[in-house]
A and B are shown apart, each in its own frame.
Chain A
């Protein structure tokens, strides 16, 4: 049954590819692009150099694939529009979902921020992620506030959130993922968001009952 064999081979290749990308994410986050060699990566995955090069022709190609294929994990969550929730509660819920993403994908964020210094691709992907977060916040608030107010509040929140995120990644490095799970840290982020997003002051559209 030649087809079955071929399918198994393709599946194994896809699994190996995923294993390489997982290891590359950890190594690049910890050591940076320059500080990580293809040999180290091969060792991390338990592969020979030749096997690694079979999947990715160069370190550059591996980094590109990593950035392109994994950015979707940070795309903004789109919470169900919940009309029963007040805008401030809905915003807090969205912030919680974003904090979950930080905890889960801190390595990707570190790699992206490091690479953005010299990689146009990393800059483009950052812009997409940041715009998605802002659009998601605007959409969430748009039903309850005037559109301009929703957009301006979303902007302030987005900047504050980007500031907290990248300050945290600098100061805590690999420990940031753990920090993003801690209730005290999350409470503090919520307090900061409330300070920059006084949605109650802007509530102008009567809530639907």
Chain B
């Protein structure tokens, strides 16, 4: 066997089940999180936050706070009037109002927890003591808590300049929905509610701005997913050039979308450090996290789905009211979550006629923003519930009705009614594989048996498709102030032969230091351990946004492929001179360049030394820097799909819900690291189970927050999560470099619907539908009490 053939048979790095290389650091306490940063002379921030949901801010008396022990400065909005430019999440959407984002509330407060004053002190203790001494004369304004009421004409306005609380309204349609529904022999219809939740990262938000007096520059460490976006927006707010603001996201302890937006606290910390010419730090506590980190979901959906007598879907109509909270979050806009609900409602199905209308309504609650799954958990919940309701009407099995309606292999690429196009993906394959794994037929038989014994046992299927790795032709909100469609990789082999690959993404739990190193090592021919991944640093590449929206493997992985391939060519060309052979005879693998079929090689280190240091060994044209910077744009992105199946048993007396089995079959294209894909699915499903059964942010009619701690806001722990079974359907994407599809969010998308369907299936003999999540024992108790009456 020749060495070349031998090399080709060796396991490739892409696809290898490699343990995460960042984990030894994180698990042994050697990680570096923002709050770990020790900065000489650092000052600490506490915010005085609003305890009113909607009020005009009268005079603020800060004298006692200024005089309190340990206090350096107290800022209110007036102090930033001339120094900080308000930012707006702009968009070309018709009738859209972009609310201003400021470091502190200006003139009025619009949610409980909105920062009004910032106290800078020697310690957080001093700062909190002083915060209590600030006296604010509030003039309470009418409540704006209910989104339906807030959308009415004559409602009290949160943003008077907008003239309405409806920040944006959109409609997507295809065909003649009303006529098609009227003609449909079978129609199912319901009002659905997905309750507000919070991302709840283990590490709350934190940031520290370090001020460099010598060049009037800031190095800003922040727990952000989007260092590039933060750099650009702070530069705009403070009117500084980008090279005087460097944004670094060091180790970040989870985010789930909650750290993907620009926050008032980030602007505040930068502006205060710049004005005081001192380092300033703020670490959110859990109460602040509940009150002021971008929340999620909170939609009311009226939807109707019409079928023919064979169970083929004909038309879908939906009206969505999104309760988006007080501001249009930067840069995503208030359209982000509710518009994606109507964008994805048709799901993986052929539905000819579609109309989705959506209103994003401002209310006096914390702003909502991106959250793992954005819109799709809600869309999938609605569509998958309707599918099950229709199956029951038609006497079809839930599996069968889905198989009848999926976009078929011959239909791809298929455009759904909202305009999104699905490329070839394993819709039916995922459903079939999930059913096989869970023994669907066997479970149905068991269900018949246990039902006769008086038990509530249910099986719930949820199938979905989503768009991931989106490129420059698709934007969240048309005309948004940022580009989310490209990422850049800069790969450098230095004079020691070591490989550094720099990216604009910011891994915060996804294991991208491992997976991107796998891609780089594979295409460069390096050893995995020789590749260092630099990310989470706005200075790493000229432009880049960060890690969100299931994009990093597709976009950064694509850029890594291009850049690593370009550098390999340079290495091979230089090596060809050293080995006195043609580049075509050479193979780069395991950190060396080998003459194929021989035992002659040079190591990367030797090549690098020859290129950079040993003048004269190589001709001038072979001495080019061993580096390349490449940008990748997947243009439209790609489709990811999955089916989740949950089996639940409900205690008929206490109504406790226990998930017995949970199977996911997913198609995320070519898998870079199955271990990491499994972990991402596990985490996502756990969060989806949270949305289905536990997590709910509760505001009362006055806009007061009732879930301000982890006693009141219930997040599932390991005890509540069943063993998760994952089946991979690896169909390479036809539209992305490497065939990758994004997969970071899917777990959260399918699980709420699967659990809801399983609970509804368990209670089907009682005629109970599950149209509101989370479905708690209390909600079940009320549903059962009503059904028995």
* A and B pair up: no
